Amino acid sequence: MDIDVARWIQEFLLQQPIEDRTMKTLLDILPYDNDDYRLMKRILLRSISSEISKGSVSEKTLETLEIIEEYDYQRGIVVLDSMREAYCAVAVHCTVMCLKENPYDFRNYFDAVIRIWRYRISDMEICERVGLVSERLKDTRDVIEEALWNVDVRNDVLTRDTWNDALISLKVYLADATEEIGPSFLEIVAKTEIAAKTMNGKGKEVHISAKNLQADQTEEREAFSSDVPRENFDVNIGDHLGHKGRDMAMDSCMEIPRATNHEYAIIATPEVRKVQEALKLSTLDLQAVVKDPLPDALHLAATISASMAREETNNSVENQNVVDKGACVPSVDEGVKVVDTDEANTRNPSTVSRPSLMVRNCTARTYEWDNDSIESSYEGSPNRPHLPTPRKRVVSPLSKQEIRKNSRRKIKKWSSAEEQTLREAVKECGRGNWKLILDRYRETFEERTVVDLKDKWRNMTR
DNA sequence: CTAGGGTTAATC
DNA sequence: GATTAACCCTAG
C-alpha cells in the first residue's frame, strides 16, 4: 500500500473512538513512514488521552510530554503554555503522590524529588532543553523541595488535589495540541466534499486554496509530491481516494467541529495528475489486498454505544456493574468536572449518531492497554516507527521487540510500600489475580506489570 | 492472563 | 562464582 494512503488512514483511525486493541491491530497492518513526526505526535497525544481517560497520571505521561516537546522542537513548533502547565502539574502529582502514599516516610518522596526535579527537570536545564521549563516550574520545584524539611509547606502540598490539577491541565493541553496539529487529511477531504455538495448540489470538482493546506497540512501536501509548486496545487481528491476512502472521510466529517475556516482551491498540473494516478492505483491495491476493517470497527462501536445507551437509560445503578466488568470505563472527564455530556446515554438508540472524533468513546476499553500506553501498544510490530533521536535525551526509536532484544528495563527495586500493598492485595484478591490487583492498586504499582507482580510474589514467598 | 522456566544484573 | 531479585519469554 502507498505509504501516504496508509498514513491518511492511520491519522483518521487515531481520531476514532476505537477500542485500543482494535486500534493497535488496525495500525499494525498498515505500513509506516519512520520520519513522520506528525503521525508520531498524534499517537503520543492519543497515548496521553488514553492515560487520563483511565485516571492515570504517571511519570510516563511526563516522558510522553517531553517526547512531544522534542518533536515539536524538531518541527520548529513553539511550546504551548498549556503544555508547560500540564508538564508542571504532572510533575507535581508524580512527586506528591509518593508523599500521599506514605506521609510519614519521606524516602519515596525524596527519591521522587531527586528523580523528577533534580535529574529529569534540572537535566533539561543543563542540556538547554528549556522548552518545558517555565518560571512556574522552577518556583514549584522550590516548593516541592522545601516540603522535604518544612512541615507547613508539606502539609500545604498534601492538601492539594494534584491528581485533579494534572488531569485538567492535561485535558487543556490536549485540546490545544489537537487544535494545533489540525484535522487529518481525510477530514479535510471530507469537508471539502461536503462543502462542494452544499454549494454545487452534485459534488463537482472542488476548489481548494493552498494557503489553508500550507498552514495545517504541509506534510500532507508534501506527501503528494515534493515537486509540486505549493501555490499551484491541484487535486481531485475524491478520485484519488476512491469511493471507499471518500465515504470514509465523509463519515468522519459528520462530527468534526466546524470551527476551522479553510478556503480551498484546485489547480491542475501534470505532476499532480501523475500523483493522482499513483494514488488511484495504491487505493485499488489496498482494496484488493485487504478488507477495509474500518466500517466493521465503526459499526461495532456504534452498536456497543447504542447498547450502552440503552442500558444506562434503563438502569443507571447497573452502570457501575458494567464498569466493574470492564465493558465501559467511566470517563475521567466526569470526575474532573470538565465539559462532558450524557446526551449519548439518553438518545434513542435507533438514532444514535456517530460519536465525535474528539470525544472519548465510553465503549473504548482503554483499561486493557497494558503498560499503560497506546504508545507502547503501537510499538509491537516490526513496521512501527523508528524515529531518530532528536537531541540529548534519548527518545528510543526502537520497537518494543527491538528494545527487548537489545536491552532490559532498568531494574527498579521494590519499595516496602509496594511489598506491603502486594501482601494485602493478595490477601484481598487472592494469589494469581495479578491483573485485578494491578488495576486496583495502579497508583502504587505505577511502573509494574502483572508479570512483575507475579514474579515479586514468587520471590516473596520463596 | 497466568504460570513457570530462563536470563540478566546486582550484591556478597 | 554463588545467590538473589528483577526482568523476559512463551506455552497453554
Task: Provide the 8-state DSSP code for A337.
Answer: T
Nucleotides of B under 7 A from a protein CB: 1-6, 8-10
Which protein residue has its CA closest to C1' of C5? A459
Asked whether residue A461, judged by its CB, lies under 7 Å from any atom of the DNA or RNA strand C, the reply is no
d(C-alpha A371, C-alpha A79), whole Å? 27
Asked whether residue A459, judged by its CB, lies under 7 Å from any atom of the DNA or RNA strand C, the reply is yes
pLDDT at A198: 65
Check residues 160 to 199 of chain A and report those whose beta carbon is under 7 Å from nucleic acid strand C. Answer: none
- In whole angstroms, C5 C1' to A121 CA is 30
Asked whether residue A448, judged by its CB, lies under 7 Å from any atom of the DNA or RNA strand C, the reply is yes
pLDDT at A93: 86
pLDDT at A406: 59
Measured at the alpha carbon of residue A160, what is the angle toward residues A155 and A165, in degrees to the nearest 5?
A: 160
Coil/strand/helix, residue A231: coil
Asked whether residue A409, judged by its CB, lies under 7 Å from any atom of the DNA or RNA strand B, the reply is no
Asked whether residue A411, judged by its CB, lies under 7 Å from any atom of the DNA or RNA strand C, the reply is yes
pLDDT at A281: 56
Q: Which nucleotide across the nucleic acid strands is nearest to A407, CA versus C1'? A: B8
How far lies A16's CA from each of A42, A184, A358, in Å? Answer: 12, 11, 8
Asked whether residue A204, judged by its CB, lies under 7 Å from any atom of the DNA or RNA strand B, the reply is no
Q: Which nucleotide across the nucleic acid strands is nearest to A455, CA versus C1'? A: C6
- In whole angstroms, B5 C1' to A455 CA is 12
pLDDT at A87: 92
- In whole angstroms, C3 C1' to A450 CA is 25
Asked whether residue A453, judged by its CB, lies under 7 Å from any atom of the DNA or RNA strand C, the reply is no
Which protein residue has its CA closest to C1' of B9? A411
Residue with cell 501482601: A423
Which protein residue has its CA closest to C1' of C6? A411
The structural domains of chain A, ordered by start, are: 57-192 (no CATH), 416-461 (1.10.10)
Measured at the alpha carbon of residue A163, what is the angle toward residues A326 and A451, in degrees to the nearest 5?
A: 50
Residue A457 CB neighbours (<10 A): 19
Burial of A84 (0-12, 13-18, 19+ CB in 10 A): buried
How far lies A224's CA from each of A76, A106, A220, A227, A229, in Å? Answer: 22, 57, 7, 9, 11
Which triple of cell numbers denotes residue A11?
Answer: 491519522
Q: What pLDDT tens digit does each residue of chain A (462 aa) get? A: 777 777 777 787 777 777 665 666 666 677 767 677 787 788 778 878 877 877 778 887 887 888 788 878 877 788 888 999 999 898 988 888 878 777 777 777 887 888 888 878 877 777 777 788 888 888 888 888 888 888 888 888 888 888 888 878 888 897 888 888 888 777 776 776 666 666 665 444 444 444 444 444 444 434 333 333 333 333 333 333 333 333 333 333 333 333 333 333 344 445 445 545 555 555 455 555 545 555 555 555 555 555 554 444 444 333 433 333 333 333 333 333 333 333 333 333 333 333 333 333 433 333 334 333 444 334 334 344 444 444 444 344 444 445 455 578 999 999 999 999 999 999 999 999 999 999 999 999 989 999 999 999 999 998
Evaluated on CA atoms A99, A414, A412, A65, the torsion sign reads: negative
Question: Residue A119 — φ and ψ, nearest 5°?
Answer: -80, -60
d(C-alpha A457, C-alpha A445), whole Å? 13
Residue with cell 505532476: A271
